[in-house]
Structure 1
Amino acid sequence: MKKILALLVVLMVFSCGGKNVVKNEEPLLWQPYNDSVEIAANAEHEKARMRYKLIQSKVLDKNEVFRPLYNEVSKMSPDEYEALKPLILEQNIFSIRKSIEDNRLGYEQLVRFYLYRIYKYELDNSTTLNTVIALNEDVVELARKLDEEKRVGRLPEIRHPIFGMPILLKDNINTKGMKTTAGSIALMDNEVDDSFIVKRLKENGALILGKVNLSEWAYYLCSECPVGYSAVGGQTLNPYGRKVFETGGSSSGSGTAVAANYAVAAVGTETSGSILSPSSQNSVVGLKPTIGLLSRSGIVPISSTLDTPGPMTKNVVDNGILLSAMLGYDTFDAKSVDEDFPGILSAGLSPESFSEMRLGAISSLMETDSIYKNTVEALRAEGAEIIEFTPPEVEMSGFLSLLNIDMRKDLPAYLKRYSDQEKVKIISIADAVAFNKEDSLVRIPYGQALFEGVLEDTTTDEGLEEIKARLENSGRAFFDSAMNEHKLHAVLSINNYHAGYAAVAKYPALAVPMGYKPSGEPISLTFIGKPFTEAQLLRMGRAYEMKFPVRQMPKGYE
């Protein structure tokens, strides 16, 4: 009954234009519901980690998230929403900008359109993806000011393409005006200033729309727990199959939100597979950059050795634009690179000729995955030179210790520098473990085996440096044996299958939708290249995307 009532409220909101259908000053937009039936339905799921213990968050009240902008969103009528669809839905940034320049679309309308979709689907318990967990209360007003400046001719003459585009952020990225929780109840009061990449986005004119859910602590809390789960946001769900397909992790909310067209684009983060996996599972384009290309300052860490933010978008054109908007040298990040990287912004407009591509195809994947094999053969037919090879076996032991020791040092450093210790009571992993044990049913329903492993790891500083060097050599040997011999531009993989090798090698990787399995589950082709070849990867990805436009919108979110 509660579920039906909540659905009726949502329908009333979007059928009454600007009328506030609830007389109370604080309208009831959402009600928690009994998710036990859904949990029971997944009890026998073939993937053990999809046998959920809960769907909705036990601590997040969606009314608090969605009330502040309710009156603004309700000003958009269903007719206006439908009229704007052809101008916005599934369009790339250049197309949207053209509509704005031609006065067919305004910045405020663009923001309202995405908010309308978020309210429409996220407040309905039958369609919610548990993706958006915070909204920027100033975003409509900021967009309105851009429209006014455009009207009087005060907009900057030279504007980055990201200017005025609504962007969602993974909730481990520091953002002023919104809490940065990493999905943990321990950080629910973590009020911070903007991270370096958010400052860059704002300097280039992007509008921060809100924050999205993630696998708690970037999926470095519990072992074999569901991807996309956090105590703050609940269980993120995949729009291509809610409770049927995994969302991928840990940038689960970034992937699902882009797939559902909740924003122009989103920013995720990756340590090993956390952009590639959710991008692949949600049929969007995701780029894990070379370590050092983008700043990590102001991002809740796992590993200062391997962490990086990256763009997640509906197409390769937007991916290059968003990546470009975050570039910049950061003196506070020891890995940050002070160099220019030409061609990233324009990569989507300059697709690589297939005849110029030399690509490595992994023999075992050619034998075991028909979608991959057919795609590789299609690329060969278009003129790409394909070299099939078997990567060497390399030593990857110590990977977990690298993450353990890095996090044991890097998390306290983040908390000391950014968090307000009067509001955030933890200063270490040990504190977080103790905090979680105080209310384990709510804070750690799937346990915290990985956090406990961080405390138990006895690797020395000398041992850590040896592990880092050995793993980097191993990762590079895995790809370089073929790349150097055959002068390859990239190695072709699937989803995040070889993300660990790319992570320790510090190599960039681009996932582009490759199709759908017979079940309807998305699958991606992943281009892995040498350091700082992002522009070339994007050009190749754009050529592939244009020739084989396989991405489809998830049914029910059209």
Structure 2
Amino acid sequence: MQNERLERIRDEWLEEASIREMQEKMEKGDVTAEELTVMYLSRISEYGRNVNAVLEVNPDALQIARQLDYERQVKGARSPLHGIPVLLKDNMDTGDKMHTSCGSLALADHYAAEDAFLVKKLREAGAVILGKTNMTEWANFMSDKMTNGYSSRGGQVKSPYGQFDCGGSSSGAAVAVAANLAAASVGTETTGSIIEPAVQNSLVGIKPTVGAISRAGVIPLSVTQDIPGPLARDVESALLMFREMVGEDPADPVTSLSDVWEGRDWEACLDPDALNGARIGVARNIFENEADSRIQDLFDRKLDVLKACGAEIIDDIDLGVMENDLGYDVLMHEFKAAVNAYLGKTPASNPIRTLSDVIEFNSQHPEETLKFGQNMLEQSDRTSGTLTERAYLEALERNRHLSSEVALERAFREHDISALVFPQSHGLSFGAAAGYPGVAVPAGKTEEGEPFGIAFYGRAFAEPLLIGFACAFEQREKGRVKPPNE
């Protein structure tokens, strides 16, 4: 950097700063939103290519930050996000000078007509939308051979921790925050795409209840399971992002359920004693045959941390269902219907109007787009797109019943537990299929240096409880691991 003062602040303070700390520094006049944006842009320019996480930078970011600095001086801050630079996964509409492509070359020239509802909420809160992040193309629903974090538009996202899986499909959103290219980011989850990249990158990830945050303006995969959520380096920063995105949107009717939180004191969730007296369940049979002994031993040590926080561990709960019992039939049918609905409403300038158009575009540009094939796109396109098939309707009913009633609700009720806890990305399929929340929190690393995390899962709209558990664990464990020096 040419500015030695900013270079010093960036290298000595910004690296692991929380949103709260950034806000305090701006309030004191020690740094401005424009300077934060400059520092993150310099970080992206110097280090971003090493991880390939940022797909596109907002050309208006500096001007937006300057305007927000002026507004702070004249009117004061809008919220704790005022002037905070954040990144968005590349499946979220922005009505600005950035594209929205879902990582696909077929949509590389697509400009959305307006902001997604959650993006409007972030802008209203004063956040600086810094750019778009790379992701697993079509939210990892293009090919069953595709690696996590790969897209034909952006290439391969790389873990900042070494030769480890970066997680999918919000891989770029997670890696960018882990590598300190932004204060926080927003990803989306259908089945694990917030939780998995969070634990793989030593981050806090909140996978909300379906209905907590609007999906309107987000390129979809599933109408029943999709949900956006924040990724951050600490629990409080994730909470500050989350609470600003929550709210009812008429374009996504299920969000009316978020009224359950009206008047909620979100700051009260940050309770270091939240685990004291809590009954936390462990369903070992879900992961004992998949996780190696190193992971299981590490997880057992983290259970001891939960006990030290005052939690009572209810071990060896049988959920009565395995993750593989849920299958992908629901997603296979919903994908075509959801994507066709999104593409059909894009501006007329976009020539890609249907899933069939995407497949045809890829077929015409195989060298650039079909490194891993597109068998899942093709399989989904063979469905009717009307969601009338018996196979779909039966799978939908089965998955919701098995994940909610048979697995989660029965466990919560019969064992009188407040949450389940799993290591890494195990167990996440149940909350995904049921539409229930989960919160991932860093818990150190393996001997090889791979980030390790745990995730709490609860009933619908139990986010305040789960965030409290994550906060209490974070305060005692301090498990966030910085990437090694590049």
1:141 to 60, 63, 68: 63
Q: 2:347 matched to 1:420?
A: yes
Alpha-carbon distance in structure 1 between the residues aligned to 2:59 and 2:183? 18
- The residue number in structure 1 matching 2:372 is 446
Pair 1:246-2:172 in alignment:
no
CA separation of 1:460 and 1:240: change in aligned 2, threshold 3 A: same
Matched with 2:301 is: 374
1:269-348 mapped onto 2 (5 Å cutoff): 269-338=188-257, 339-341=259-261, 342-343=263-264, 345-347=266-268
For the residues of structure 2 that align with 1:410 and 1:307, how far apart are their CA atoms?
Answer: 11
2:129 maps to which residue?
A: 208
Shift of 1:362: 2.3
User: Is contact 1:347–1:538 with CA below 8 Å preserved after alignment?
Assistant: no
Please point out which of 451, 463, 470 is paired with 1:534.
463
Q: Identity, % of aligned pairs? A: 34
Alignment-derived partner of residue 405 in structure 1: 333
Contact 2:451-2:481 at 8 Å conserved across structures: no
Deviation at 1:85, TM superposition (A): 4.0
1:57 counterpart residue number: none
Shift of 1:434: 1.4
Shift of 1:190: 1.2
Query: Is the Cα–Cα contact under 8 Å of residues 391 and 479 in structure 1 kept in the other structure?
Result: no
Aligned residue for 1:514, secondary structure, equals strand
SS of aligned partner of 1:441: helix
Alignment partner, residue 120 of structure 2: 199
Equivalents in 2 of 1:150, 1:512: separation in Å?
32
Distance 1:348 1:555, change over 3 A: farther
Q: Which moved more, 1:276-285 or 1:356-365?
A: 356-365
Partner Cα distance (1:513, 1:478) in 2: 25
What is residue 424 of structure 2 aligned with on the other side? 495
Q: Report what 2:91 is aligned to.
A: 172
| Structure 1 SS opposite 2:254 | coil
Q: Once the 2 structures are TM-superposed, how far is the Cα of residue 213 of structure 1 from its aligned partner?
A: 0.1
Report the Cα offset of residue 514 of structure 1.
Answer: 1.4
- Give 1:188's aligned residue: 108
Separation in structure 1 between the aligned mates of residue 191 and residue 122 of structure 2, nearest angstrom: 24
Cα distance per residue 1:297-351 (max 9 Å; x no partner): 0000110110000000001001111001111111111322250425473155333
For the Cα contact (< 8 Å) 2:269–2:465, is it kept in 1?
Answer: no
Structure 2 SS opposite 1:526: strand
Q: Is the 8 A contact 2:48 2:181 kept in 1?
A: no
Q: Does structure 1 residue 430 correspond to structure 2 residue 356?
A: yes
Cα deviation 1:410-439 (Å, max 9, x = unaligned): 11111122x2233x2222222211111112
Partner amino acid, structure 2, of 1:252: S
**C-alpha separation in 1, matches of 2:20 and 2:106:** 40
1:97 CA displacement:
1.1
Cα distance, 1:219 vs structure 2: 0.4
Distance 1:426 1:106 in 2: 41
User: Match of 2:62, SS?
Assistant: helix
Alignment equivalent of 1:464, drawn from 392, 416, 435? 392
Q: Classify 1:468/1:460 alpha carbon distance in 2 versus 1 (closer, same or farther; 3 Å).
A: same
Q: Note the C-alpha offset of 1:87.
A: 4.0
Stretch deviating more after TM superposition (387-396 or 261-270): 387-396
- 1:58-97 aligned within 5 A: 76-77=3-4, 79-97=5-23
* Structure 2 contact 441–470 (Cα < 8 Å) conserved: yes
How many residues of Structure 1 are paired with residues of Structure 2 in the alignment? 472
Q: CA deviation at 1:389?
A: 2.3
Aligned partners of 1:397 and 1:97: how far apart in 2? 46
CA distance in 2, matches of 1:349, 1:491: 19
**Larger Rg: 1 or 2?**
1
**Letter of the aligned partner of 1:179 in structure 2?**
H
The secondary structure found in structure 1 opposite 2:348 is: coil
1:45-124 matched pairs, under 5 angstroms: 76-77=3-4, 79-123=5-49
Q: Distance in 1 between matches of 2:483 and 2:254?
A: 38
Summarize deviations over 1:435-491 as a string: whole Å, max 9, x none.
Answer: 111121211111011111112347843442222121011112222332111221110
Q: Partners in 2 of 1:366 and 1:438 — Cα distance? A: 45
Contact 2:319 2:411 in 1 (8 A): no
Partner of 1:478: 407
Matches of 2:451 and 2:354, distance apart in 1: 38
Question: Helix, strand or coil: the match of 2:205?
Answer: strand
RMSD: 1.9
8 Å CA contact 1:348–1:539 kept in 2: the answer is: yes
Write the letter of the residue equivalent to 2:354: S
- 8 Å contact from structure 1 (residues 173, 180) kept in 2: yes
Aligned partner of 2:328: which letter? Answer: L
Per-residue Cα deviation, 1:484-507 (whole angstroms, up to 9, x for no partner) = 112211100122211211111111
Question: Which residue of 2 is the match for residue 150 of structure 1?
Answer: 72
Question: CA offset at residue 237 of structure 1?
Answer: 0.3
Does the 8 Å contact 1:391/1:481 carry over to 2? no
Shift of 1:390: 3.2
| Mapped partners of 1:534, 1:432: distance in 2 | 37
Name stretches of at least 5 consecutive residues in structure 1 with no aligned partner: 1-13, 18-75
On the 8 A contact 1:347/1:536 being kept in 2, the answer is no
CA contact (8 A) 1:320 1:347 kept: no
Deviation per CA, 1:360-404: give whole Å up to 9, x if none. 022345794101111112212332111002323337656322111
Report the equivalent of 2:141: 220
| Runs of at least 5 residues in structure 2 that lack an aligned partner in the other structure | none
Which amino acid is the alignment partner of residue 521 of structure 1? E
Bigger RCO of structures 1 and 2 (CA < 8 A, at least 6 apart): 2
**Is the Cα–Cα contact under 8 Å of residues 456 and 466 in structure 2 kept in the other structure?**
yes
